């Protein structure tokens, strides 16, 4: 599905990723862990550029349009699949079919009470779930998500993680919660200063060792 061979990346003359070699087969649930600044976001970006058409994306800053409603923001995942006139009409007057589709997704993620509220009025956690819902609305086979549960409490985090891992075939998540990564993913890659320091199936990893290296 993804293939990187000795990939490097730099930003403002500073190396962000060094000599990354990586294969990700279809169907894998992969967690990227590491401190902030270790290169997780940049690695996600590299992966995204490999096949942008097939990917649903949850960016770290959510990428929401705060003046539009939750409904419109989630619907944006569908823009590419619908005719332009349909999108424009739906922008001015929410249509019945998309309303139902979006509400279904929001129901799963426990946000349907905010369906028609402007995103600007939501809390950080609600905005994050809106961004997740948009990715689910898009419904690609692959999900790339940068810290998709960073603003959620434990209960909501588990809900979102299980939804994402069930909904998408291939999943690559950047995250810093090691327990969640161990629970929901089948492979973990640890990054440190732009280099891969761990790459192993979840089953072979020890929670305490990971916490020592990558814990907060």
Partner 1 sequence: MENNAPIFQRPSRWKISGLFILIALACLPFADLTINTFDPMAELDRLFSGLLSPSLYPIESPIDALLQTVAFAILGVSSGSVIGFSLAQIFHFRLVRTICALIRAVHELFWALIFLQIFGLHPLTGLLAIGLPYTATFAKVYAEILEEGDRRAFDTIRHSSSFTSAFFYARLPDLWQHFIAYTSYRLECGLRSSTILGFIGLPTLGYYLSSAFLEGQYSEVWALLILFYLLIASIKYWVRPKLLPVYLLISPFIIANDSHISFDNVHRFFTQDIIPLPIRNGQGISELWLWFYNLFINEALPGIVNSLVLTQLALILTGFITLVWFPLISKLFFARFARSIGHFFLVVMRSTPEYILAFILLTLWGPSMLPAIIALALHNGAIIAHLMGHYSDALPLRLDATKGLNRYAYEVVPRIYGQFMAFLFYRWEIILRESAILGILGITTLGFYIDSAIQDIRLDRAMVLIIITALLNVCIDTISRHIRSRLRLSMGPEIISK
Residue 13 interacts with partner 1 (CB under 8 A): yes or no: no
Q: Taking the CA of residue 120 as centre, how many other CA atoms within 13 Å lie in the half-sphere pointing to its CB?
A: 4
Question: How does DSSP classify residue 95?
Answer: -
Q: Does 79 bind partner 1 (CB under 8 A)?
A: yes
Q: Among residues 3, 37, 116, 153, which is the contact residue for partner 1, using CB under 8 A? A: 116
Distance between CA atoms of residues 34 and 20, nearest Å: 15
3-state secondary structure of 1: coil
Pick the binder of partner 1 from 12, 13, 14, 93 (CB under 8 A): 93
- Contact letters for partner 1, residues 26-45 (x by CB under 8 A): -------------------x
Element spanning 154, H or E: helix 154-167
Q: What distance in Å separates the CA atoms of residue 48 and residue 52, rounded to the nearest whole number?
A: 5
115 DSSP assignment: T
Among 9, 48, 163, 199, binds partner 1 (CB under 8 A): 48
Task: Kindly state the smallest distance separating residue 121's Cβ from partner 1, in Å.
Answer: 9
How many whole angstroms separate alpha carbon 19 and alpha carbon 7? 5
Q: Which stretch binds partner 1 (CB under 8 A): 9-17, 29-37, 111-119, 166-174?
A: 111-119
- In the set 25, 27, 63, 215, which binds partner 1 (CB under 8 A)? 63
Residue 57 makes contact with partner 1 by CB under 8 A: yes
* CA dihedral for 186, 31, 107, 51, sign (positive or negative): negative
Do residues 119 and 68 touch, judged by C-beta distance below 8 A? yes
Q: Is 129 in the site for partner 1 (CB under 8 A)?
A: no
Nearer to partner 1, 37 or 63 (CB): 63
Among 16, 20, 46, 69, binds partner 1 (CB under 8 A): 69
Output the CA torsion sign for 51, 53, 56, 61: positive
- Residue 155 binding partner 1, by CB under 8 A: no
The binding site for partner 1 (CB under 8 A) comprises 45, 48, 52, 55-57, 59, 61, 63, 65-69, 71-72, 76, 79-80, 84, 87-88, 91, 93-94, 115-116, 118, 120
């Amino acid at each position: 599905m993804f293939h990187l061979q000795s990939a490097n990346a730099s930003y403002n003359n500073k190396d962000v990723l060094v000599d990354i070699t990586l294969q990700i087969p279809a169907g894998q649930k992969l967690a990227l862990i590491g401190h902030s600044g270790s290169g997780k976001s940049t690695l996600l970006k590299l992966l995204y550029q490999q096949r942008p058409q097939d990917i649903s994306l949850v960016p770290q800053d959510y990428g929401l349009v705060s003046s539009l409603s939750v409904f419109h923001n989630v619907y944006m995942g569908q823009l590419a699949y619908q005719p332009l006139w349909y999108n424009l009409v739906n922008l001015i007057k929410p249509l019945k079919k998309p309303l139902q589709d979006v509400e279904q997704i929001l129901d799963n993620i426990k946000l349907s009470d905010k369906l028609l509220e402007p995103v600007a009025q939501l809390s950080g956690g609600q905005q994050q779930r809106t961004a997740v819902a948009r990715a689910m609305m898009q419904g690609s086979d692959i999900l790339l998500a940068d810290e998709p549960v960073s603003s959620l409490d434990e209960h909501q985090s588990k809900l979102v993680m299980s939804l994402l891992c069930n909904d998408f075939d291939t999943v690559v998540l950047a995250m810093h919660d090691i327990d969640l990564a161990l629970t929901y993913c089948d492979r973990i890659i640890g990054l440190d200063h732009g280099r891969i320091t761990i790459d192993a199936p979840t089953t072979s990893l020890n929670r305490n060792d990971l916490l020592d290296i990558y814990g907060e």
